[in-house]
Amino acid sequence: MSLVIDVHVLHAYPLSNLNRDEFGSPKIALLGGVERTRISSACQKRGCRINTETVLGDRALRTRRIPEKVAAELRTRGWSQQDALDAGQAIALTAQFSGMKLAEAGTTNVMLFVPESAITDLADLAATHRDLLAPAAEQARAQAEAADKTKPKTKTKAPVLDKDTKAKIAELKDTVRTILCRRNGSIAAFGRMLANTPEATVDGSIAVAHAITTHAGEEQPDFFTAVDDIPGTDNGSAHMGQHAHASGTFYRYATINVDELLRNLDNDQAMARELVYAFLTEFARHVPTAKKNSTAPFTPPALVHITARTDQPMNLAGAFEAPVTADDTSGWTGPSITALDHHAAAVNRFLGDENLLAAAHSGTADLTGVTALGTHIPRLDALVTTITEAALTPAGQQ
């Protein structure tokens, strides 16, 4: 049995292109025999992660450019550009993560996900152990080449080191690995995976579904011309082309495994509360920013429904397996709310409500006809607080 928080959002976005495919068109999905407009889970997770980190004031970096960031930090301390770059690359290699090496551009060949504070800590290490960086990097390169079975063996050999230097490099390696394996709230929430490095892996406690329109979707072309402010014989047209857009009411869903989150945070209840509150708030009102300056799609959600459960996550996308229909007066949002409400009622009848710890809803749409989505709480902040407290307050204290 797990304690989970589910958040369901119905969100009507106007004409926009919130998440593009390789051809520049809105992403799509097939569900219930019809094509829907889609926003990928990765698109939503990144936007919500960045916003949540901003609220918490504790950023994490998902990047291949740690050597470059460490070098920039060292340059502020008076190091030359080349010495700083060499040190940044060496300190990253010193971790000796299996399969990790430097790409031609000087970045790591794999993405690392670390708290932003790790950059300063690695720069401190580089400055303290400056004399060890070159032999440590040589040793790491030699070991990586020896372990790479996809390439022919080279003549690169590990440097000959005395016993004391080997011991110092081993200690430095352990310290670098510890820093790169450190976690903060963002990593505890969204997880981290580094192949062949179990100690760096963190099972994410937040899962996000692909968002889809509750109804059939259709790409809408937009022919445009760019006008030259200095007119000529071409009648002022400097460029013309065509963009693809879509619009519709999307069902968005995410779930937080509260037990997993607390384990990832070493049972830090205060941090868990802050993170849950921040993520639920950001997810509820999230608008992807692709092509934002040409579409301004900044609408509030029509419906936000949040539950705390003591059994398992419960995605309610089944409400829209049969696409909702609209007429010229209803739009898509009203029928979508009705379909979600009816489906939630069916799920509650089927499973019972003994594992439903709390349920509530809010939004900007007319919600007077809703019957199965729990208590109506007009303000989003109050809704999020109610569910957060219900999930994270010990049973004896509620």
The pLDDT tens digits of the residues spanning 327-367 come to: 888 899 999 999 999 999 999 999 999 999 999 999 999 99
Residues 38 and 68 in one domain: no
Residue 274 domain-assigned?
yes
Residue 389 domain-assigned?
yes
Q: What is the average pLDDT value for the chain, to the nearest integer?
A: 91
The tokens for 106 are 């000087």
Residue 371 domain-assigned?
yes
pLDDT value for 397: 61
The tokens for 140 are 């790491």
**pLDDT tens per residue across span 138-165:** 888 887 776 665 666 555 666 778 888 8
pLDDT value for 264: 96
- What is the three-state SS of the chain? CCCEEEEEEEEEEEEECCCECCCCCECEEEECCEEEEEECHHHHHHHHHHHHHHHHCCCEEEECCHHHHHHHHHHCCCCCHHHHHHHHHHHHHCCCCCCCCECCCCCECCCEEEECHHHHHHHHHHHHCHHHHHHHHHHHHHHHHHHCCCCCCCCCCCCCCCHHHHHHHHHHHHHHHHHHCCCCHHHHHHCECCCCCHHHCECCCEEECCEEECCCCCCEEEEEEEECCCCCCCCCEEEEEEEEEEEEEEEEEEEEEHHHHHHHCCCCHHHHHHHHHHHHHHHHCCCCCCCHHHHCCCCCCCEEEEEEECCCCCCCHHHHCCCCCCCCCCCCHHHHHHHHHHHHHHHHHHHCCCCEEEEEEECCCCCCCCCCCCEECCCHHHHHHHHHHHHHCCHHHC
**pLDDT tens per residue across span 7-29:** 999 999 999 999 999 988 999 99
For residues 367 and 333, is the Cβ–Cβ distance under 8 A?
no
Residues 143 and 268 in one domain: no
Q: Please, what sign has the CA dihedral across residues 56, 60, 61, 66?
A: positive
Residue with tokens 């109506």: 376
Residues 138 and 66 in one domain: yes
Split into its structural domains, the chain has a count of 2
Residues 69 and 49 in one domain: no
Q: Band of the pLDDT at 235, cuts 50, 70, 90?
A: low
Query: Taking residues 282-287, what's their average pLDDT?
Result: 97
Residue 263 domain-assigned?
yes
How far from the centroid of its chain's Cα atoms is residue 181's Cα? 18
Residues 54 and 66 in one domain: no
pLDDT value for 199: 85
Query: Taking residues 354-382, what's their average pLDDT?
Result: 97
pLDDT value for 393: 87
Residue 332 half-sphere exposure toward CB, CA atoms < 13 A:
19
Residues 217 and 172 in one domain: no
Residues 212 and 114 in one domain: no
State pTM to two decimals: 0.91
157 exposure class (CB count in 10 Å sphere: 0-12, 13-18, 19+): exposed
Residue 67 domain-assigned?
yes
pLDDT value for 329: 84
Which residues, 6 or more positions from 48, have their beta carbon under 8 angstroms from its beta carbon?
208, 254, 279, 282, 283, 286
Residues 385 and 253 in one domain: yes
Residues 83 and 42 in one domain: no
Residue 178 domain-assigned?
yes
Domain of 103 in residue numbering reads as 62-183
Residue 265 domain-assigned?
yes
Residue 86 domain-assigned?
yes
Residues 367 and 272 in one domain: yes
Q: Band of the pLDDT at 390, cuts 50, 70, 90?
A: very high
Residues 32 and 136 in one domain: no
Residues 51 and 81 in one domain: no
Task: Give the range among 143-147, 182-186, 219-223, 325-329 with minimum mean pLDDT.
Answer: 143-147
